[in-house]
Chains A and B, each alone.
Chain A
Amino acid sequence: MTPDAKGETVLEVRDLHTHFFLRRGVVKAVDGVSFSLRRGEVLGLVGESGCGKSLTALSLMRLLPKGGAQTIKGEVLLGGENILECTPAEMREIRGRRISMVLQDPQTSLNPVFAIGDQLREALLRRKRAPLTRAPHAEVMKEAVAALRRVEIAAPEQRISQYPHQMSGGMKQRVVGAIAISGEPGVLIADEPTTALDVTIQLQYLKLLKRLQAETGMAILFITHDFGVVGRMCDRVAVMYAGRIVECGPVRRIFEAPQHPYTRALIASVPKMTGPVGRLTTIEGQPPSLMDLPVGCRFASRCSLVEQRCLDAYPGTVRVGDEHTADCWKATPA
């Protein structure tokens, strides 16, 4: 889908705050994240691990882990409705049907003691179109086989009655994918779906996601730390650092003219396919502790262009191009 094919916005996240309240203090893991996602578009959410991208996804699904995590501020507009204010019952209606998610590790995403068919059936029964709730078991199983075939799994008729441990990682991730889309959600969050897969399977999985998106027109929020995947997969990309999105824009512009020093450093550390392979640069220093975040720009301590104002106050969001923003004092507005 070309970036300018502007579908209407399906997901709007405004100033999302999700913090961990621990005995030792408050961890501001997601500290004011805002972005929007359009129909048929793939938005990449990139950043080093621990920058809060997975937690952002969980906050959207309102599936925060027990023990202290809580979304305390911001809005998540799904089709215009702020799902943060939904009751648990309403949220259950939304999950799987309007927003769904694929997890990182296929090994543990499927229940080891239930057959694939059974786990698929649960998801299929929830779809609105041609509801199967009263359909006889045989017909539901036929749908399940179709769902497996749709995610390009060979010999789905046998696979239906098999258990997770009898399948390879890649195949399992496809089943998880089938489960995720069987409710025909408008938005699919893919939380590093290919990280646990080896490279060849990775490529196939990405192509599969692309094909499924083309068929259904769903929007995908693709979370990864791998820029290579971003280049191939995403229309737009948002770079996250220490709980905030520091730069967001069309993928080609980000690759060619990254405006935020952190983005620039990230791209520099990715080996290029084309041209000579020089020494790869690394980013010195450590991301700031999420317990006592600096007042100013959070990348200041590691930024080569750091100035006094970077330390004094957090830079606002600067529009540096068509749909391209960066949070940096040095960014030159368009």
Chain B
Amino acid sequence: MFRKVARVFALAVVLVAGASVPSRAQDQKGTLVFAVESLSAQTLDPILEGRPGNAVYQAVMYDSLVGFDLEKGGIGPGVAERWELSADGLTWTFFIRPGQTFHNGDKLTAHDVKFSLERQMGPGSLASAAASMRRTIKNIEVVDDLTVKVQTTSPQIGLPAGLSRAVAPEGAIMPKAYIERVGEEEFRKKPIGSGPWKFVRNVPGDRIEFTAVTTPHWRGRPHFKDLHLLLVPEESTRVAMVRTGEAAIASIGPETMLGASRAGLEVLSVPGTMQAVFQFWGTYKPEVKDSPIAKARVRQALSLAIDRKQVIEHVMNGRARMPYPFATFGYTDYFSADRWEKWAAEAYRYDPVLAKKILAEEGYPNGFELKFANTALPGTQFMVDIGTAIADMWTKVGVKVTIKHYEWGSFAPMERGDQAGLIGWASMYRTAGRPDAPWRYDGAFSPESIQRLLGDKENCQEICQDFVKTSRALGSELDKTKRTALTDHMVELTANSWTVIPILEGMGYYAINTKKVGQFAPITGRHELGDVFERIPRPEQKPWKK
């Protein structure tokens, strides 16, 4: 009962306050309601939330040091207007955009940037890149109110990307003075940031409410007065809420997409948000030496046996596209996208006849036994459907597939340690849409990485060594054309290893009630809408075509 009374009281206060607040510009009215599948940790302190949560609801009230390139995707100007790398590649200098203020009126200065980065690396931080930042960042120096220098232990080409939401959440700028004045506990109850929306209320497991900033903001002035993010775990309920108008936008998957569009809802897809892949574990291990998947050509045959167009057409309802090579997208930095798009179109074509021929040549005329772990990472439940579809396609070329279904929490631990449960298996996997390919390649192929798909410390044959050499070179290469050449080489050797094989380039999908919101464009590669809410117009401002 107390909750209801509190809500009514809060409403009353807001109304009264609303009336007395300086007259809100006439064009900010109405409430934008967004139904989302998960609010993950649902905490407003940037150092306690992972990437998805930050991108969905923290991005709304916190700006990132580096922003987005809205046309092409990838990184662009943010809190810092521009940034440059010193000649020796060891110092990044960020030039802060003037005139930025926090929600309580404090000015945003270089001190806040230094404080924020150090807090992300601090002991209490759960930021996933905290350890890497501690290792790579030597010192952060405030030159003046609008300039900050970041010295690194070794050349870090990807540092700016790492501080933009295009890649990671660790770039969120927090109010130094406010936090030092009220302390972390109070900051977590009443957080303030510099973003286009101000925090109103957080109801655990239920909703988070924001209200628009009235002063102009470099990311754009919100068209709505309030923003409510509602936690609705069941997809069909989310679609129902959009259809009844209780919500304006809802995150959906391919499953309810047909129903939504037939019901007259607009289905928006955000391109280049993820790649669904399948990969082979420990193909180089001695105990797997004579099994079929140890042979690259057999792995290639399995790729040829997959009709990607059918999967895109029927499992994803046409809302996906042919993939680039592993973990690369149209917007990947230092990467010849056109060349690789043509390569991928040919390499990842559907050629079951050739697949059978290769299998016969490799000594498996009537197929072989393939163990396949089907799972789905959080947020992309449709991976299970893709896995089911491709497994069936393999059976069509004579491969006897035994599928074992894993809930993600049970699958993840098997990657660590000796990967006993995975060696000799194929499995579904995913890579998120990110402009910096090398970071993801290291995570998958380096002998020290967790996945160690090309080789580990004991047996790192020729491809593995070549990869290590290229990756180390990329780490310190500053020249753009050389970087592109190195990246292309890295992509080529790993693609020809056929250890990780992309199936399709997936998209983020949203059902939209066109009577509630106007037409808007998402940021390419950015699945979550945290950085888009302020640019969503009201229906009368920019009606959907039709």
Within the complex, are A and B direct neighbours (CB within 8 Å)? no
